[in-house]
Structure 1
Amino acid sequence: MSTKQEIINAFHYRFACKVFDTTKNISDEDFEFILETGRLSPSSFGLEPWKILVVENKTLRQEIMPLAWGAQTQLPTADKFLIILSRKKESLLPESDYIQNQVNHVLEMPAEVAEAYTAHFGNFLKNDFDLLVDDRRVFDWASRQAYLAMANMMTSAAAIGIDSCPIEGFDMKAVEQLLADKNVINSEEFGVSAMLAFGYRANPPSRDKKRQSLETLIETIY
């Protein structure tokens, strides 16, 4: 089988699994592989404005249940349950400790390059995308970056026969407050973008994958 066909097969295999088989567990090696594909994912300016919480604590899962209407079957059955965090405005300003650490120590830019890069990023935030008008715009931009990592993790999981389900059905403010009260997150720095469940399907999908045709989705401009 060609590499291209293997990738297409993974996309066909993946579906939003609502109920997982609780008798099957993901191996540490496979889960580390999934997380690594998230870590290696692209992000705008290479700033990786996300963090991933792996919720192994069963009590915390139970406390999330009444706040997450979209995860009522995934929380109790998924082998791995993730909360995807994205950074808020203050930690993404060009002069913030996070951005300065990212460009100077993670990306290892020379001092003069780092200075020009952060100035360019500041112009992007303020002018190109007009993100500094309010706090939510920056968080939403960071969330779009986090979704790239989520997509890659779901596809890589499907490629090795592991199922997943992305979840947005939850009370964002209430979940953030719960995590802050438990000192899991600093709510000034991070917000909750999504949840993501992994495991093995309890049942096959009820129908084949339905999508619009390429002809409908794609318009070529000559």
Structure 2
Amino acid sequence: MTFFNKDDILNAFHYRASTRSYDGNKKISDDDFYAILEMGRLSPSSVGSEPWQFLVLQNAHLRQKLKPYCWGIPTMETSSHIVAILAKKNARYDTPYFGQIMDRRGLTGEAREKALVVYKKFQTEDIAILDSDRSLYDWASKQTYIALANMMTGAAMMGIDSCPIEGFDYKEVNQILADEGLFDPAEWAVSVMCTFGYRDKDIKPKARKAFDEVVKFME
């Protein structure tokens, strides 16, 4: 197992910045972007739910259709890759979706029944997300941001830039992508999008709160 020097990792965090201007002629290689997608796929999620799908939007016509509903940002055209991350809308403990989670874990018989009891208590009492469809979707969306962060950080470690996007009309973007047959809107919805590529100019160093403002040690 090869591990990375902490200074190199922190340098990547300092380098990473929301990139709003890309070199439209410079493209990420297939191998490198596959690695970025793998960073998302291999990310952790609550109770191993993996309530996500990654749509890689490379079609130029589709990008143009989306652009007016994404604040008209030019990176919808110039970024090398755009990923729309979908969140599962109905990842309840008592659905076939959770049955698939237990299948992946190889749970059968009594072990499966015990796991189901744990999942039920978790969703109904501990985190209490079954009071509305929106609460359940928001829980799934929170998981997608773990994958998003890992993809952006991993990309930065490879010298690849990115920018997370929440500035879009969710209703219209979901409708366009669903109409393209890319997902079933009864099952999935866009949680967040992200552009990837190579910056074409320097980016002002990021401003962050001081370490002592955000970290407290209780000893």
> TM-score by structure 1 length?
0.93
Partner Cα distance (1:67, 1:103) in 2: 38
State the partner residue of 2:117: 119
Amino acid at match of 1:40: L
| Cα distance in structure 2, aligned partners of 1:112 and 1:140 | 31
The one-letter amino acid paired with 1:99 is F
Structure 2 equivalent of residue 88 of structure 1: 89
Following the alignment from structure 1 to structure 2, what is the Cα–Cα distance between the partners of residues 64 and 115?
A: 44
Question: In structure 2, what residue type is equivalent to 1:102?
Answer: I
Tell me, in whole angstroms, the C-alpha distance in 2 between the residues paired with 1:173 and 1:121.
31
Match of 2:199 in 1: 201
Tell me what 1:22 maps to. Answer: 24
Describe how 1:1-222 pairs up with structure 2 within 5 A.
Answer: 3-69=5-71, 72-89=73-90, 92-104=91-103, 106-205=104-203, 207-222=204-219
Displacement, 1:95? Answer: 2.3
AA aligned to 2:96 is: D
Greater shift, 124-133 or 150-159, is seen at 124-133
For the residues of structure 1 that align with 2:35 and 2:21, how far apart are their CA atoms? 22
- What CA deviation, in whole Å up to 9, does each residue of 1:9-66 have, x standing for no partner? 1101100000110111111111111111111111010110111000111111111111
| Structure-1 separation of matches of 2:52 and 2:216 | 32
Task: Tell me the number of residue pairs that the alignment of Structure 1 and Structure 2 aligns.
Answer: 216
Query: Structure 1: how far apart are the matches of 2:22 and 2:121?
Result: 45
Q: Over the residues paired in the alignment, what is the CA RMSD in angstroms?
A: 1.2
Q: Secondary structure at the match of 1:197?
A: strand
Q: Which amino acid aligns with 1:56?
A: Q
Q: Secondary structure at the match of 1:56?
A: coil
Unaligned runs of 5+ in 2: none
Rounded to whole Å, the distance in 1 between the matches of 2:40 and 2:142 is 14
Shift of 1:129: 1.4
SS of the residue corresponding to residue 15 of structure 1 reads coil
Aligned residues with identical type, % of pairs: 42
Q: 1:44 & 1:184 partners in 2: Cα distance?
A: 25
**1:94 CA displacement:** 1.6
| Matches of 1:64 and 1:118, distance apart in 2 | 40
Unaligned runs of 5+ in 1: none
The structural deviation recorded for 1:155 is 0.4
1:131 Cα offset (Å): 0.6
- Tell me the alpha carbon deviations over residues 77-117 of structure 1, each in whole angstroms, 9 at most, x when there is no partner: 1110000100012xx1122121101211x222233222221
What TM-score results when the alignment is normalised by the length of structure 2? Answer: 0.95
User: 2:123 corresponds to which letter in structure 1?
Assistant: L
